[in-house]
Structure 1
Amino acid sequence: MEEIEVLVREFELERDRDAAEAVDRVCEVGPSGKMTLFTDLLGDPVSRVRHSPAFLMLVAETVGPATEIVGLIRGCVKTVTCGKKPSRGGAATAKYQNAPSPIYTKVGYILGLRVSPYHRRMGIGLKLVRGMEEWFREKGAEYAYMATDKDNEASVRLFTGRCGYSKFRTPAILVHPVFAHRDPAARRASVIRLSPAEAEIFYRRRFSAVEFFPRDIDAVLHNPLSLGTFLAVPRGTVWAGAGAFLADPPESWAVLSVWNCKDVFRLEIRGAGRFRRGLAWASRAADRAMPWLRIPSVPDLFHPFGVYFLYGVGGEGPAAAELARALCSHAHNMARGDGGVGVVAAEVASCEPLRAGIPHWRRLSCTEDLWCVKRLAEDYSDGSVGDWTKSPPGPSIFVDPREF
């Protein structure tokens, strides 16, 4: 199809809200197939990025007597870790003694490119991406990156073929349903809730050199959508505060934080037949009637449901994966007590050491997501990192919950 004339401009809440929501609703957000996953944003359509320090939403509007919004794109700019400086004795601050020395860079993240199914292959997506990249450059971003399903050929072709992005990382999105029964795995360890201040110390000391670690982690941890940070340790471990723990940690430990996506967006699986819906209903009924059997019931995912997102997943020691499993169980039980949460999800690097401890259902998960990156700036604020787009992957990444 030929390109049509469209105007790319900034989203205006009162003027564009209904039309932008309509575009969002007709666009699938998961892998294509007989059942499709749709998103339903709560509040205004820019809500998924509004918690970031700098964010923008653009819309594509047809030019003519009868204007129509046919596409939209969301983006944010932040500072993240892209590498690690060589260790230097005494270089760390007193607050985070022995912390690694990360190399930070400013990045733009593209989230939620949507084009109406009736207006695709007309160059609208390309215009939206270019408009967002222009804003990234104005904000001083050195890189732009985005995430997509690796099987979404149209999206991959647009970004890698026409927009100059490179395939960069392939993390896994691991999704687990919330059952009607409690998960007893949390009892196998001591689970300690950290205050936001303790969690900040913990993350800066142990994770600040992990790729994509946000420099404003304090803002993330203090956000009302962050439901808490939890540390799992072997039973009998004495907790005397984050500083004492980090000075002399046990052989094994694990940590993660929980983010409430339920208050930002809902998901819904459409296209399921009566047979599958009936089986799911029967599993829930049996689970409610006989919770002691711990039947792996399927929650009602065929109507809008909420998500709890697990971020900042990490740990050390031979039992770290088992302790991470206890934390996932704890998060599951939190979600079970919050009506309307259908799944608990985490996104981790493909070679994340604790991946084995994160329970998930293969049918609901995406074992190989795709992150693509593009270099925007010619000169870098810190020449020691070189071109980040060509760096090899590390064992872990830090997935910012504001972008999930």
Structure 2
Amino acid sequence: MLRFVVFWASIFAICGANVCPCQSQQLCQPVSEERDDEVFVFDVGGKTWKSYNWSLVTTVAAFGKYDAELMCYAHSKGARVVLKGDIPLSDIVNQDNRTAWITEKVNLAKSQFMDGINLDIEQEVEEGSPQYYALTALVNETTEAFHREIPGSQVSFDVAWSPKCIDKRCYDYVAIAQSCDLLFVMSYDEQSQIMGDCIAMANAPLNQTLSGYYEYMELKVDPRKIVMGVPWYGYDYPCLNLSQGGVCSIAKVPFRGAPCSDAAGRQKPYSWIMKQVSSSSSGRLWDEEQLAPYFNYKDQKGQMHQVWYDDPESICGKAGLVKLAGFRGIGMWNGNILDYSSNPVARQQTVMMWNALLGC
């Protein structure tokens, strides 16, 4: 099947799909200039990218439908646009399948005038398994192919907030980091496995987040390959009980060996959170232990909810590590979920979130 896909991807390119859609042919050339500080933005589609702070953006990972207008505009600002890459690991144990998949992605990137690929593979892997070695080989071979076929291209790989087999993702992080250009560390969803009390907690507590980076550095991962990922969303947890001390007990939703998880809540974008906190029963609260904001509210059925999220104050505390540790940069999931409307309050909130990426 993969060989069939590669065949048609090649035909697609040959038959004129590589006609530059930009006003200038120069804008269809790959972006190869490296900036000192990376700001890596995941974009899931739509046109909100028109309101991004393009003075900061260096890479856009296009996780939505291909948008030629976005590619042209990003290139005009000197920013890369990279593909999303994901495949079942069982499919790539076979060398021929790996090669076919990589060839398809390279051809697709060329036909769309893109600048690389972001490998977003978040599957369970047992250390020493065939999938363990196949994943490492995939990253190495993908990087070699993209660098060869698209000079100056970028290959990044998304990793969990810690290399300690989070969510049973037991990868060869050292070898993967050596192979690719960037490791995007997803410092969020840190409650995906709750081993203690089933209670609502911060999406990315500061101390827990920083401990994950120290663990990567202990592995001698090159800090210039690390991009810190921060969340522009939070979790809304229905409380089974909200104690007088403000502790929200949540439903037991197991995940990959843990009895509880953040799946007991629902992800909410920052734009929703800012509207909800203003009408909440508690207003914005601050947890001194987790160094994160939260609030409580009662829904129309009378049930109490607790919402944990990140805002400029909590993000600044993390962004400070980027320069201190000499990391390559910072990024977020995802760029689309701020409020880019003309509302003056929303506009100010959005500006502050972008500026928080620079640190305090």
Same fold (TM over 0.5): no
TM-score band (shorter)? 0.3 to 0.5
- Please give the TM-score of this superposition, normalised by the length of structure 2: 0.34
The structure with more helix, counted as a fraction of residues: 2
Task: For CA contacts below 8 A with separation 6 or more, give which structure has more relative contact order.
Answer: 1
The structure with more strand, counted as a fraction of residues: 1
